[in-house]
Chains A and B, each alone.
Chain A
Amino acid sequence: MARPVQYNVKNEGGKVITVAEMPEGYQGEGFFAAKLSDVVGLARKNSIWPLPFATSCCGIEFMATMASHYDLARFGAERVGFSPRQCDLLMVMGTIAKKMAPVVKQVYLQMAEPRWVIAVGACASSGGIFDTYSVLQGIDQVVPVDVYVPGCPPRPEAILDGFMKIQELVGKEDLRRRNSDRYKALLESYGIQ
């Protein structure tokens, strides 16, 4: 005879317990049929490996985001790789000087497709307050960017929000997108390939 559950059965705080939606599909006895792209998207979006490229204060905010209180690991991003190998999200955080721009581009080129880029904070997005001769006015001058996070520096919540926006993009991405002419033209405009 199974023992009855006797503790924590009431949910007294009235906490909302959210359950992730399952992908659209056809269910039957013992099987579930869905679109391959949905399943791949689900797998990709919940196992993103970020590559932090942190150069300034936004990098410190990101450290707080990774730490236990905000805990980026909840999103399946436990493994931050400090190498382009096997990482699929380049997170550029902080001022990128013009001299650093080739390095950012090289790191981006060394990552394998599919890859996404997030520009965290005012400096990475637009040069920020450093409207000067030595600073790149936004990393979108050297690599294509998927999500921009505003703030100077953004709080960890904002970084998490940007990360969730990336997850949304990754989950919905068409499997053929990276082979499309439009995507090729985009990379072509950056002189890649």
Chain B
Amino acid sequence: MSMTNEYIQERLVNQFGEAISNIEAPYGMFSFEVPKEMNLKVMQFLFDDDQLKFRFLTDICAVHYPDDKGRELAVVYHLHNLEDNVRIRMKVFTDINQPDVFTATSLFSTANWMERETYDFYGVNFVGHPNLKRILNVDEMDYFPLRKEFPLEDQTRIDKDDEMFGRGGSIR
């Protein structure tokens, strides 16, 4: 029994059935989506299972899709099976007006830092996180900088000219 994408998919679908959706494998990395209420259940299953053994959390990050109404924010979990060196991606989508996702800190201690960072930049509210506050930006900031909510810079500005920094302009 080798850890192929098909095997992981079969185990997940056997366990959770319809809850597993959007299965794809871009560049060979198995990715799937679960409803946001089930993120801990699925991760716990992947963690505890004797064959799957996804017991290392590489990273948590978020993506903002402003046009995807009701599913604007995606939280992406990168899980790693260190024994077989297999990586998978799990996504949960949430409404930007109610960005509540259960915290993974009870399962992975490292999620503490990563979720604070994700909250800092995207405003995802991790329910149950022991200390959810900004970690990289200043506390006074009243917006989430990596959301695509801000108009692009005025292209006609002349107070910061690229030519002054040796880029573009007359340099060929």
> Measured between alpha carbons, how far is A99 from B137 in the docked complex, in Å?
7
On whether the beta carbons of B166 and A98 are closer than 8 Å, the reply is no
On whether the beta carbons of A152 and B165 are closer than 8 Å, the reply is yes
Give a binary string over A88-125; 1 marks a CB under 8 Å from any B CB, 0 the rest: 00000000001100000000000000000000001000
Min CB distance A135 to B, Å, is 11
Determine whether A31 belongs to the interface, using a CB cutoff of 8 Å to chain B.
no
16 additional contacts, CB 8 Å, given A129-B160, A133-B141, A134-B136?
A98-B137, A99-B136, A99-B138, A122-B164, A122-B165, A126-B160, A128-B165, A129-B165, A131-B153, A131-B160, A133-B137, A133-B145, A134-B137, A134-B145, A152-B164, A152-B165
Sample (22) of A-B pairs whose CB atoms are under 8 Å apart = A98-B137, A98-B138, A99-B136, A99-B137, A99-B138, A122-B164, A122-B165, A126-B160, A128-B165, A129-B160, A129-B165, A131-B153, A131-B160, A133-B137, A133-B141, A133-B145, A134-B136, A134-B137, A134-B145, A152-B164, A152-B165, A152-B166
Q: Give chain B residues whose Cβ lies under 8 Å from the Cβ of A128.
A: 165
Min CB distance B19 to A, Å, is 37
Min CB distance B56 to A, Å, is 30
Q: Which of B136, B138, B141, B153 has the most CB of A within 10 A?
A: B138
> Measured between alpha carbons, how far is A99 from B120 in the docked complex, in Å?
14
Number of A residues whose C-beta is below 8 Å from B?
A: 10
Please, which residue of chain A has its CB at the minimum distance from the CB of B160?
A: A131
Please, which residue of chain A has its CB at the minimum distance from the CB of B139?
A: A99
Please, which residue of chain A has its CB at the minimum distance from the CB of B143?
A: A133
Min CB distance B28 to A, Å, is 35
Q: Give chain A residues whose Cβ lies under 8 Å from the Cβ of B153.
A: 131
Please, which residue of chain B has its CB at the minimum distance from the CB of A102?
A: B138
Please, which residue of chain A has its CB at the minimum distance from the CB of B153?
A: A131
Min CB distance A177 to B, Å, is 31
Give a binary string over B115-146; 1 marks a CB under 8 Å from any A CB, 0 the rest: 00000000000000000000011100100010
Please, which residue of chain B has its CB at the minimum distance from the CB of A97?
A: B138
> Measured between alpha carbons, how far is A128 from B136 in the docked complex, in Å?
21
> Measured between alpha carbons, how far is A31 from B98 in the docked complex, in Å?
83
Q: Give chain B residues whose Cβ lies under 8 Å from the Cβ of A152.
A: 164-166
Give a binary string over B94-110; 1 marks a CB under 8 Å from any A CB, 0 the rest: 00000000000000000
Min CB distance B36 to A, Å, is 27
The list of the 8 closest CB pairs from A to B, nearest first, reads A133-B145, A98-B138, A99-B138, A129-B165, A152-B165, A131-B160, A134-B137, A131-B153
